[in-house]
Structure 1
Amino acid sequence: MSQGRSIRLFLVDGTPNGLLTAEIMNWTGHVLTGPRSKLAELVQRPECGRTGVYFLVGPDPENNLRSKVYIGESDDVAKRLKQHNRPEEQGGKDFWERVCLVTSKDQNLTKAHVKYLESLLIGIAKQLGRCELVNGTAHDYVALPESDQADMAFFLEQIRTVLPVLGFDFLRELTKPSAPASINAIAPVTRSPRFTLEVPRHRISAHGQEIDGEFFVLKGSKARAEWVGTERGYQGLFKQLVDEGVLVADGGDHMLFSDDCAFSSPSAAAAVVSGRSANGRTSWLVEGTGQTYAAWQDQQLNSVTSEPETA
């Protein structure tokens, strides 16, 4: 059974779209995040004068499923953010809309610590592929004592825990169905049974599985050769997966999934497989039973026993 964690969020100006701080119980780290429009207020915060790592996050115009991210470090984050706020032609960065800064409450993070963290964070973000990383090649920084490396491993784990809570998913582990169980996983992985989707008329057969709330279509599944639905909905997603090589021609009348592919919902997955809009809650069937995804989900809900009410 996984252990719960307590995260304390504070709305600095009382609004959900303003500055926000986050802390985890028994962690010396401190997170400050906010929109670029609040940068003048953010750089006046005491955290911005400390040593830390930061993330600049914005939309990727070429891929609406991902964000563009820049990962940096500094012993004077306010100064670095002011530089990044300049126009592109003056050495700044135009793409970002939000910033997230991670420092230490006890101010024990040193320049060596944050350079080491930056190196690890860039490597993780590049490996996971959940964002378009603006950084160039990550510099391997190993000039840190073994004991400090162990401390930074724990610090890194907390960063990867709190950032998704704040809406930054680019460091969240992507556990594919075909991947072996990781001994270094932050939390136990929850897996659904396997699902199938058949379109006999077009000889389409696909397999799927839900892992930690994400619905995957499994490698080797077949999809329709082209999008035949209306020019909206998931047509853009279909074309994007073709462009990225996730959907490849199988030499026949279908497209083939070259790797496990995560979708935001069963319906998004069903639409890409079918080449048109589809209700994934009824299209996907539990393998071996024929039970719909919706019925399976209802069964999970009904299996939860209610606690008796007390007077």
Structure 2
Amino acid sequence: MSQGRSIRLFLVDGTPNGLLTAEIINWSGHVLTGPRSKLTELVQRPECGRTGVYFLMGPDPDGSLRNRVYIGESDDVAQRLKQHNRGEDQGGKDFWERVCLVTSKDLNLTKAHVKYLESWLMRIARSAGHCIVVNGTAHEYDNLPESDRADMAFFLDQIRIVLPALGFDFLRDVTKPSQINETTSPGTKTVSQSPVFELTSKNRSIKAFAQEIDGEFFVLKNSDASERWISTPHSYQTLYSRVVSEGVLPETETGLRVFADDYAFNSPSAAAAVVLGRNANGRTEWTVQGSGQTYAAWQDQQIAGLRPALPSALITTE
């Protein structure tokens, strides 16, 4: 069972849309984040004069549903952020709307440490696939003593815990259904998983399967999908186009498309819309395999089966 963590948040200027700091108990790291509109105040903070790694995040100008992220490191983050704030024609970056900086409270992070962290963060972000990483090729940087690499592995783990809680989810680990049955080492976190759901469109010969893993709704590899968007324009049409453009839904000789890998969606309805090529209510379209029970009915059953915890004063032992 995964152990809980406490994250201490501080609203620097007392507003939820301003500067924010975050810390994890017993971790030397310190996180500072804020919107680009607060850059003047942010670069005056003492953290920005330290050695650290930073992240610039914003929407994709090309219209993708994924955000763009730039990962960098510096001995003087304030100076680097000032450079990034320039226009594209002056060597800056226009896309970003939020910035996040990770430094060390004990000032023990060195240039070698942050270069090592930067290279690993770029690799992890590309592998996770939640955002478009705009950096160039990640350089291999393993020139650290063994003890320092161990320290940075722990530091990296804490970054991956705290950033998603602040809305920077590009490092978030995803466990695909196909990975659950693979051999895992002792201590691996427990994964919550639902039964397998199915969706069938008999008149179009579409048959798809899905499973909910840790709150994400995955359409399973080899599931069928519509060859094109067949309905009126809808926000899910953009999602359908994105999944196709990513190479997840190649065409087949049958005329339909087939999922080349497990693919995570934010909701059953988003998954159903991509499978059917039209707007759909996934809570009723998806049914438990073998029973015909809808996703909505299955979820209601899970909630109804919960028992409220008794106050400790009412718990007795023989």
TM-score bin, normalised by smaller chain: over 0.9
Name stretches of at least 5 consecutive residues in structure 2 with no aligned partner. Answer: none
Counterpart residue identity of residue 265, structure 2: F
| 8 Å CA contact 1:270, 1:280 repeated in 2 | yes
Q: What is the deviation of 1:183?
A: 4.2
Q: What is the deviation of 1:253?
A: 2.8
Match for residue 282 of structure 1?
284
Counterpart residue identity of residue 281, structure 1: R
Q: What is the deviation of 1:87?
A: 1.1
Name stretches of at least 5 consecutive residues in structure 1 with no aligned partner. Answer: none
Match for residue 84 of structure 1?
84
- Choose from 236, 242, 245 the match for 1:243: 245
Matches within 5 A, 1:64-213: 64-179=64-179, 180=182, 183=185, 187-213=189-215
Distance 1:211 1:183 in 2: 19
Deviations 1:202-237 (A, max 9, x none): 111000011111111111000122211111131111
SS in 2 for 1:135: coil
Distance 2:186 2:135 in 1: 26
Q: What is the deviation of 1:82?
A: 0.7
Distance 1:214 1:12 in 2: 33
Counterpart residue identity of residue 309, structure 2: E
Match for residue 305 of structure 1?
307
Q: TM-score, normalised by structure 2?
A: 0.94
Root mean square deviation of aligned Cα: 1.6
Distance 2:244 2:102 in 1: 37
| 8 Å CA contact 1:157, 1:186 repeated in 2 | no
SS in 1 for 2:178: coil
Distance 1:183 1:157 in 2: 17
% of aligned pairs identical? 68
Counterpart residue identity of residue 132, structure 2: E
Distance 2:187 2:115 in 1: 24
Match for residue 271 of structure 1?
273
Deviations 1:5-51 (A, max 9, x none): 00011111111111001111111100000000100000011110111
Please identify, of 46-55 and 183-192, the stretch whose mean Cα deviation from structure 2 is larger: 183-192
Distance 1:296 1:19 in 2: 42
Deviations 1:58-92 (A, max 9, x none): 11123432111110001111111111111111111
Distance 1:305 1:214 in 2: 24
Match for residue 19 of structure 1?
19
Q: TM-score, normalised by structure 1?
A: 0.96
Deviations 1:273-310 (A, max 9, x none): 11111111111111122211111111211222112467
Aligned length: 311
SS in 2 for 1:242: helix
Q: What is the deviation of 1:186?
A: 7.3
| 8 Å CA contact 2:234, 2:279 repeated in 1 | no
| 8 Å CA contact 2:2, 2:190 repeated in 1 | yes
Distance 2:136 2:235 in 1: 34
